[in-house]
Structure 1
């Protein structure tokens, strides 16, 4: 069992299942950004509501900001490939 995102796609009810809440939020963020998803709610594995309405929009906004921050400040190389300074 996982999280289920219930949403409207082209005026028709739809749903997708995800292993994590973060994956459901990422899917919702992509759908909202592309205009394909217009509303939605996420239920937890036990069937209780996890995110809906303003709380889902806030989670999507946090996800979007985190992606923008990651793009603005990409990692600088792999730490394993850097010399340690030890002989």
Structure 2
């Protein structure tokens, strides 16, 4: 999903200005901001937002000072092991 949102921001939103991932107890919230105030919509041959709509628990668009923020909320993945189910590992980028 991150690839799709960042690609859309670069291609259709005047450039990506930020990416934020937040982990809550059982959710991941991803936000991508770009320079265009125009709301995203289906484009000829594009299925990215339709796929995001199917995979995400929720998603939306919010205006920001110089563009927009698209956010996606999804369940935090679980990993099955022999001893039970555990949270998936988290990779932090600095």
Q: TM-score range by the shorter chain?
A: under 0.3
Q: TM-score, normalised to structure 1's length?
A: 0.27
Which one has a bigger Cα radius of gyration? 1
Structure that is richer in helix per residue: 1
